[in-house]
Amino acid sequence: MLKFVGRGSCFNTKEGNTSAFYKKRKNMLLIDCGSDVFSRLINKNILKDIDILYTAITHFHTDHVGSLSNLIFYMFYIKKQKVKILIPQSDNYSKTTSKYVHSLMTMLEIQGVSPNFYELIPANVYIPELAMKIFFNPVDHIPEYLSHSLTITTDDQIIWYSGDCNYVCPVPEVYNLIYQEVSFFKSPFHCHVDDLVKYKTHKEKVYLMHIDDSKRIQTLIDLGFNVVEIE
């Protein structure tokens, strides 16, 4: 369902910063907007026919948010639209939401983007332009619950998008599609390739992304997993 602008980890310039998108007529959802994502969107004409753009930012590392300000300026000045930035919205972690929003707005302000250039839209509500709901789920990657996976529900699918986290989907049987980050290097911040064994009976619906070693993509395929393709 999702298409990808890039599928690499922070230092994998060959594969580009991991970022996914979904289009429905002239409406679009963009998941993450890392340092090279805006240039890829423009060079591939992905925004050419888009009038309404939603974006969901999983966390604030530069390979996930580094060119968001460029995107906001482009949509505002060229497309005459404000980017609609989805934000976590849950009574269970409202303080986290406030810190998330504060961090987001501070980052954009430092880059010269005033709140007049974008809209903050609470997630967990139905988005009619996209015919979906998007839920933010706190995950282990950076402290203070500022990193999230996403659950995306449509009329006929439930999708898990890991963002950056150090584990696999906790309930893979619930989902129709799973987009999972993977790393060949052991660290407390990412899901190591050895942990993919937990998907033993769900490989057919797991699509791997955020790959740190391009030379070993074939290894992932040989293990029986799908690897996302770059548009």
Q: What is the pLDDT of residue 217?
A: 96
Q: Domain total for the chain?
A: 1
Distances (CA, A) of 147 to 4, 70, 143: 20, 22, 8
- Does 145 score more than 80 pLDDT? no
Q: Which residue has the higher pLDDT, 90 or 199?
A: 199
Burial category of 121 from C-beta neighbours within 10 Å (exposed 0-12, middle 13-18, buried 19 and up): middle
Question: pLDDT tens for residues 48-68?
Answer: 999 999 999 999 999 999 999
| Mean pLDDT value across residues 207-211 | 98
The pTM is what?
0.95
At residue 28 the predicted structure's pLDDT band, cuts being 50, 70 and 90, is: very high
The domain that holds 118 is classified in CATH as 3.60.15.10
Helix, strand, coil percent content, the chain, rounded in steps of 5? 30, 30, 45
Residue 60, C-beta contacts closer than 8 angstroms, at least 6 positions apart: 103, 104, 107, 142, 146
Crossing angle of helices 94-110 and 68-77, rounded to 10° = 70
Question: pLDDT tens for residues 80-108?
Answer: 999 999 999 754 555 556 888 999 999 99
Domain of 222, in residue numbers? 3-227
Q: What is the pLDDT of residue 96?
A: 58
| Mean pLDDT value across residues 183-204 | 95
At residue 141 the predicted structure's pLDDT band, cuts being 50, 70 and 90, is: confident
At residue 7 the predicted structure's pLDDT band, cuts being 50, 70 and 90, is: very high
Q: What is the pLDDT of residue 19?
A: 98
Please give the radius of gyration of the chain, using alpha carbons only, rounded to the nearest integer: 17
